[in-house]
Structures are given as C-alpha cells and as structure tokens.
Amino acid sequence: MPKPKLLLVAALLATGLAACSGGDDDALVVYSGRNENLVRPLLDRFEAETGIDIDVKYGDTSELLPTILEEGDNSPADVFFSQDAGALGELADKGILAPLPADLTALVDPRFRDPQSRWVGVTGRARVIAYNTELVAADRLPASVLDVVGPTWQGKVGYPPTNASFVAFVTSLRETIGDDRTRAFLEGLKANGAKRFDNNVQTLDAVASGEVELGLVNHYYLYNEFKERPDAPVANHYPGQGPDGEGTLVNVAGAGVLASSARAADAQRFVRFLLEETSQEFFRDETSEYPMRQGVTARAELPPLDGLRTIQVPLAQLGRDLEGTVTLLKEVGLS
C-alpha cells in the first residue's frame, strides 16, 4: 500500500513533533509505519474510549527506524508501530524497547512475537506467488518460490525488488538457505528476464493484465486492490507447503514500547488495544491481513495460520543485517 514518503531522516529530525497530529506535550506519542488512512479510525476510537490523547508521527518504517536510533533516549516516541518485524527486532537488540507484560504477549502465537516480550505482532502478511488463472493452471504452479527462476517461467515473473517486503523476504532466504543460494536465486531472477516493478500493486496489475504470469507479492493486495474487480483472473499461491517445502514467509506489523517512555502504562494500554478483538477484526476487514490475536479468525479465503507451513526463521532476525541484504541486491543488480 502506498505510504507518504519522507525524504530524509534529517528532515524528520528537524520537524520533530511538528509532524505529529497535535503537538500536545501530555499526549501519548506514537511513531507509526502504518498509513494514516488505515490507522486513524483506530486511534480515534482509542482516544474516545480511554481519554488518552495521541500524537502521531507517520512515515515509512525504514525512515522511522533510523530516526528512533538517532534520537536515542531523547526520543519523544512512546510507542513504535512498525510495518515490519525486522525493525522492531533491531530496536530490541539495541535495548531501545522495554519488555511488555507476559499476559499481553501471550495473546499472540510465539512465532509472531519477540521471545523476550519486547515487541508483539499485531497483523500478519504472507509472501505469496500471485498468478493469472487464465494463463496458469493450478497444477503447474511452482512448489517453491525458488522454482520461479526455471526455464518454464522465462520472462513470465514480476517482482518489486526495492519494496521493503521483498527485502525482508530476501533476508529470510539468507537466514534459511544461506547467502550463496540466495545470491544464485537473485541472479536467476535477473538472468531469467523477471520483470521489475516499483511496488506490489504494479506487480499484481501486471499479473491481472497478463503482462506476467506470476508475481511475488504480499497476499492482501489481491483483496484490497481488486475489491472493485472481483472477476480479475488473479489468485494467490502459497509456496513451500509440501512435506519438504521451505514454507511461506509470514511477516508481521507489530508494536513495541520504548524503554525511554515516561508513559509506559499508557503505551502498554495502546499496544493491548491493538490486540483487542474489535481492533483485530478491524484490520482483518479493512486490510485483509492475518489477525495476530489467537482465536480471531482470518478472512475465509485465507488458509488458517495454524495450518500454514511458515519459513522457520525468527522474525526478529529480519532486521539484523538489512544492510547486507541491500548490498547483495545491489551487487546482483536488482536495486
């Protein structure tokens, strides 16, 4: 989903809380990597139900992360609501996030939260292979995402190499199959004539139009971008589900409380609010992401998480060497 682009970390630092919604020194400050159009209704409901005012700084997770690192203990942020688990993992590793109550983190499957309870997943998205149902029969689909570099798919695959979700996916490959095989996969994409797009939406549009037959995207774009196009010939395929499959990457948007926050109780209350059933149902219905609270069902069209084979890499590790992943993409010529 497109988000407002903040051009420089320096600009974020210079504007400070002027970029927040209100500027009230007594308000709870949330740095949000989630789009304002999406989360504002939730924040309004939190304010109405609790009487706690919220100031929000919106931006890309990839820009808010270095802002928090630069601000250190002087950060005005109380909560970081991240689009990506890797960013939360990096902050946790640097001691910037405080532990959350055990009864709060226990609401979420251990696969989708920090083992030391310093952050918790709020919603999940699966990295799938979207395919054109008029051009590709279901029994022809690649069993593994690694198979899309084979001769069958020469010039028929689309992907967004600079998208943060694709970068996280490549990082997960590095963690599971190693750098050498990951490099070979990326070089295979390039050599196989895979088509580059700026983002997931463009990739999915290309699948729907038949420009490509397969697209490497997040699962929820099919439901959000094609609400008005229910007859579009596109479906999602979850790779790696066979007995020996590597699984499908399920990354999360999540939240953590900064250790420097002077409003820890209110901050924890906000994170707990994001995991309330009504909030989880809001995300399910509005964004088609997986609810992270156990017991809240996903959309009927989605395979249940408890039956989905997922890539076995701790999500926090997705942020530990982002620079190495970006360097690898540049070396291969995909960034």
| 167 pLDDT tier (thresholds 50, 70, 90) | confident
Do 125-249+323-332 and 9-124+251-303 fall under one CATH topology?
yes
Q: pLDDT tens, 28-61?
A: 999 999 989 989 999 999 999 999 999 999 998 8
**Of 79-93, 147-161, 221-235, 314-328, which range is least confident?**
314-328
Choosing among 3.30.70.1230, 3.30.1510.10, 3.40.190.10, 3.40.50.150, the CATH entry for 9-124+251-303 is 3.40.190.10
Examine the pLDDT at 25 and tell me if it is beyond 70.
Answer: no
Query: Please, which contacts does 175-180 make with residues 24 or more away whose CB atoms are closer than 8 Å?
Result: 175/313, 175/317, 175/318, 176/246, 176/311, 176/312, 176/313, 177/146, 177/246, 179/328
User: Higher model confidence: residue 272 or residue 12?
Assistant: 272
Q: How confident is the model over 221-241, as pLDDT tens digits?
A: 999 888 888 889 999 999 999
Structural fold of domain 125-249+323-332:
D-Maltodextrin-Binding Protein; domain 2 (3.40.190)
* Domain range list for the chain: 9-124+251-303, 125-249+323-332
Better pLDDT: 316 or 247: 247
Mean pLDDT of the chain: 89
